[in-house]
């Protein structure tokens, strides 16, 4: 291990929780990138709801019980994971730190869990697949069925074990912070936008040096083979809608099920009706998600709709959850309400900004440590035991209470 890497690991070891990670990320990133990661759409109502929903739910501990080492391991779509937290698909990670998606994949492998690689990643899906450890591939439609088919076949050939179709991006959410910061049109450092971006970037010389040495990445390399001119799309082209929608349709889901050899996951569902439709179409799992509050503002918190979806389709498909995970106790609450596992995106991204791969590893280490402490204090020996009996019914939102406890 190099001296620089030892220093980096020593620095991130001093980060003690999600707030420390977020503060460290804020110190490292230019405003535009920082708020791209942290922000939500419109008034950020859903962004706030996600985190508040976890805070509102209280535990129901069982005292006078010693738990020497809680068992966190489970299986997700047949793959054993030592930590029931998958690293979520996130676009733009290479803007945060040159380690980017590769750092996510390495950290997930080190934690004994799955990395879900984004088709809007800063590295090719083949590069990410070369990292040791289990991986799923998250698929956007981009501009046509043909582009989706092309990416699916590459993912199949690269050895991804599951395909995740994200269905909540028919148009991009209106992320006001991005427009105000100039991120919505480009964060490239060039003569065209240097005047507008210079005040942001020059305040973060370490980030700017890494970005320049990394080749000023702003493209989505997975799209290089699917554009008319052979050039990859840039991140801001993800805002297109209508004919250029990036969201698969139900017809696309049917096609994916017929042509993908392996588990199929549908991500971005918030209603029982859509969850049933996905499972009826052959989905092996669904991810209850509102895109981290970045799409439809005013959508419900994922934790509040999770039990209904579990009650409706949980006997036919695995149900996972993302959006709002900040602490290990959040993971325990989601599992208690029926999630098989959760996905975390912002938290490891803050870790990435704070210390590259080592920072992502630290974010997952914190979640593991917090889960172990929470389960010991609850008196719970294994994640397999978690159900609603570990939560205080009086603190559950009405949407949760309507679902009968098995």
Is 291 annotated in the active site? yes
Sign of CA dihedral 192, 196, 202, 205: negative
What is the rounded CA–CA span in Å between residue 183 and residue 29? 13
What is the end-to-end Cα distance of the chain in Å, rounded?
51
DSSP per residue over 110-176, as a string?
A: HHT--EEEETT-SS-HHHHHTSSS-EEEEE--TT-HHHHHHHHHHHHHHT-SEEEEE-S-SS----H
Q: Which long-range contacts link 330-333 to residues 24+ away (Cβ below 8 Å)?
A: 330/54, 331/84, 331/85, 331/367, 331/371, 332/59, 332/371, 332/374, 332/375, 332/378, 332/380, 332/383, 332/386, 332/390, 333/54, 333/57, 333/59, 333/303, 333/391
Out of 18, 97, 246, 291, pick the active-site residue: 291
Residues recognised as catalytic: 291
């Amino acid at each position: 291990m190099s001296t620089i890497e030892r220093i980096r690991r020593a620095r991130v070891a001093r980060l003690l929780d999600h707030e420390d990670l977020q503060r460290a990320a804020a110190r490292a990133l230019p405003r535009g990138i920082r708020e791209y990661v942290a922000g939500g759409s419109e008034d950020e109502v859903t962004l706030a709801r996600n985190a508040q929903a976890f805070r509102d739910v209280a535990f129901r501990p069982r005292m006078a019980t010693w738990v020497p080492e809680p068992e966190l391991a489970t299986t997700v779509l047949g793959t054993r994971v030592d930590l029931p937290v998958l690293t979520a698909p996130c676009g733009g990670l290479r803007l945060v730190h040159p380690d980017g998606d590769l750092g996510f994949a390495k950290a997930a492998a080190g934690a004994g869990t799955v990395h879900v690689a984004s088709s809007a990643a800063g590295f090719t899906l083949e590069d990410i697949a070369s990292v040791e450890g289990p991986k799923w591939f998250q698929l956007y439609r981009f501009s046509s069925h043909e582009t989706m088919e092309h990416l699916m076949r590459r993912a199949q050939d690269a050895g991804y074990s599951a395909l995740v179709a994200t269905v909540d991006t028919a148009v991009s959410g209106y992320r006001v912070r991005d427009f105000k910061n100039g991120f919505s049109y480009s964060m490239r450092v060039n003569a065209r936008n240097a005047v507008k971006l210079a005040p942001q970037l020059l305040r973060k010389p370490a980030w700017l040096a890494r970005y320049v040495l990394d080749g000023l990445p702003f493209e989505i390399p997975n799209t290089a083979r699917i554009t008319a001119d052979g050039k990859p799309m840039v991140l801001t082209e993800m805002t297109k809608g209508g004919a250029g929608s990036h969201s698969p349709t139900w017809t696309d889901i049917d096609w994916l099920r017929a042509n993908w050899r392996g588990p199929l996951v549908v991500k971005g569902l918030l209603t029982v009706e859509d969850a049933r439709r996905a499972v009826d179409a052959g989905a092996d799992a669904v991810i209850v998600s509102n895109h981290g509050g970045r799409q439809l503002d005013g959508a419900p918190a994922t934790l509040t709709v999770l039990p209904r979806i579990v009650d409706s389709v949980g006997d036919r498909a695995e149900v996972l959850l993302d959006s709002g995970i900040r602490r290990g106790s959040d993971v325990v609450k989601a599992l208690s309400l029926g999630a098989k596992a959760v996905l975390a995106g912002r938290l490891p991204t803050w870790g990435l900004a704070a210390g590259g791969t080592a920072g992502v590893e630290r974010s997952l280490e914190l979640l593991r440590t917090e889960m172990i402490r929470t389960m010991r204090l609850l008196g719970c020996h294994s994640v397999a035991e978690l159900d609603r009996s570990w939560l205080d019914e009086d603190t559950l939102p009405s949407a949760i209470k309507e679902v009968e406890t098995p």
